[in-house]
Chain A
Amino acid sequence: MSDSRGDGIAAGAASTDGDSTEGKSADPTEGKSGNSTETESADAPTDREHRREVATDRWVGIAGAALALVGLGVLVRQPSLVLAGAVGVGYGVYARTGEAPTPTLAVTRSVSDESPAPGDEVRVTVRAENVGGTALPDLRLVDGVPPGLAVVDGPARVATALRPGTAVTFEYAVRAARGDHDWEPLTAITRDAAGARERTSALDAPTAIACTPELSAGGDLPLRGLTTLHHGRVPTDVGGAGVEFHATREYRRGDPLKRIDWNRRARTGELSTVELREERSATVVLLVDSRDSAYVAADPDAETAVEASVAAAGQAFSALLDGGDRVGIAALSPLDCWLPPGSGTVHAARGRETLATDPALAPTPSDDRFYRSLWLRRFRRRLPADAQVLFFTPLVDDTAATLARRIDAHGHLVTVLSPDPTTSETVGQRLATFERRQRLRTLRSAGIRAVEWGDDSFPVAVAAATRRWSR
């Protein structure tokens, strides 16, 4: 028994600091080897939920093999074989004595930024301390990364061994994406030293990040063409927001900066606000399709049509607000989402918040069932009589097209804005592509304006469409 791994045992079984294994060469992860650090902290154990406990069946048959060796040894009168077989029996006993330990861990998770901007990398640090009385000779931790986030650096996992009082820390990075993201419980898999039994537990250490994209300044989005066609902007004699000069008045808090009369300020030092001739503003409701079926993309790892719709709705929201329209937000979703049409900076902030973090527009679909007629009844009750609807939907099923026509039939101007999630590699995908195209054609022939955008950006598509309509 004098192989080079004698030290390995000592290190493995007794040492506390780290990854000393077979002395092959310098450990490339030396910098990270703060694998376990002894700490005195008396954290309360994290709530644990038992998931499953099974035999791994790794050692099945070892006793049989050992017995066969012993038998052979007796048969051929070779004592050494019997001894070898007896060692095998020893392993068989070893494999049966263990019990998968119950992990009593204090888990803390910290994120480098709780409200990151979209695309930011957020570093996540997970620390698990064995606060129980038993050693965990084989502990594997897999973190419950929120389904809407992708890990961009390192697996969110670690495997280690923890004596009581020791802790393991691991780190990974996720790329932030729009929405509220809640971490799911950490999965802890423990095995006994022989690895014959395995226990899976879930440890819940709540963590969340909220990623709220800025509303892009939507000035370049030619949506006025969309909204003025039916409800023309009628010049009125009321002063307010508009284009044409009406009068000046004393500055009041909350007036937009761009309407302050800076010339006068320079001349006299007084703040005053230019009143413009108010146009009759349109009332627009942005309706985003976020049913289960709308979470589609041309590639499983690509942004879903819901993301594309929400991003476009954000652009439309700020463009319309800038244009003086009253804008509301609704979701075609099993969850209720309704921001009544409004205007002003407070409303802009609420709109931004709704688009970013409303559960109905979450980055992953809701499990609830969608009831079409219930939804339509509620939506119609809320929709102001003169409101137009900008309907963002990938149009991958007939329900979306039907609803667009129903809302149109109730006297609201509906414009369908459709991100194109289709692709055409397989037969089924091609059929889906044809069906969607057919839906668009049917809508257009029914007099509903429809814009689709795929590779080109939303503003480009809208610009092209408005040119077409104004011809």
Chain B
Amino acid sequence: MSGGQGGDGATGEAAREEATGETAREEATGDDAGVAAAGDDVPVDDFHETDARPPTVAVVASLAAAGVAATAALVASPVGGALLGAAALAFLGGSLRNSTRVLTWGAAVGVVGLAVAGYRGAPAEALLVAVVGLTVAWNVADHGVGLGEQVGRGARVRRNVAVHGGASLLVGAVAAGLVYGVSLAVGGGQPVAALALLLAGGIALISALR
């Protein structure tokens, strides 16, 4: 039901969504008229397959979040920011190609970007924004690909994407606020001991979770 294959930037995508939204409706009414006039036997072009590309709203939201992450990382380290920018491009590419694999690679590049930015001494605030932004960006893009497969691009999905993206943003904000608060609270004490304890706790937790 929608227009041509998307191949370029996010704003183009958004603009196209709006454009096709309008034209699709007009075409539909045109169809009706055609049917009425043409009578029974003429097969008017039937709906053939669902457009399985991810919904535009998910792609745009993902890019916005990735953009925030890249900007935050850029503050501390150009290389880290560039890697997060590459992650954003991978999210776009993975969305356009319906490939969760590409999205995963994008996320991996983004994590490396975070590591580089952190290694270069990025302030905790910037890094926390970047990590939440990266996770939300990947999450929404991956969610979008899944939505594309199951309900397609033509269906109404905005509320679904908003709830999903909003929930993951909320979780990230709470987690970041929590660890930031803890780090402030123990900040005056023994940083190395605190870190080692955190890590040990983390390894134990993750081993238990697996």
Contact = CB atoms under 8 A, between A and B. Distances in A.
Interface of A: 1, 3-5, 8-13, 18-22, 24-29, 32-33, 35-36, 56, 58, 61-74, 76-94, 96, 117-121, 137-142, 150-155, 157-161, 170, 175, 189, 193-195, 301-303
Interface string B43-70: 1101110100000010011001100100
Contacts of A35: 156, 158-159
Given A24-B14, A153-B28, A301-B48, A119 B206 contact: no
B118 A69 contact: yes
A119 B118 contact: no
Majority SS of interface residues in chain A? mixed
Contacts of B44: 152, 175
B159 A161 contact: yes
Interface residues of B, number: 94
Contacts of A61: 104
Contacts of A151: 46-47
Given A3-B129, A89-B202, 10 more contacts: A8-B162, A8-B169, A9-B166, A10-B166, A18-B159, A29-B158, A88-B135, A151-B46, A151-B47, A160-B159
A119 B40 contact: yes
A121 B35 contact: yes
28 contacts: A5-B165, A12-B159, A19-B156, A21-B61, A68-B111, A74-B199, A78-B119, A79-B194, A84-B118, A84-B127, A87-B131, A88-B131, A90-B178, A91-B172, A92-B206, A118-B40, A140-B150, A142-B151, A152-B47, A154-B1, A155-B50, A189-B150, A193-B163, A194-B167, A194-B171, A195-B142, A195-B146, A301-B48
A391 B128 CA distance: 76
Interface of B: 1, 14, 17-18, 21-22, 28, 31-32, 35, 39-41, 43-44, 46-48, 50, 57, 60-61, 64-65, 68, 104, 107-108, 111, 114-115, 118-119, 121-124, 127-133, 135, 139, 142-143, 146-147, 150-152, 154-180, 183, 191-192, 194-196, 198-199, 202-203, 205-206, 209-210
Nearest to A61: B104
7 closest A-B pairs by CB: A12-B166, A90-B175, A19-B158, A81-B118, A28-B21, A12-B162, A80-B124
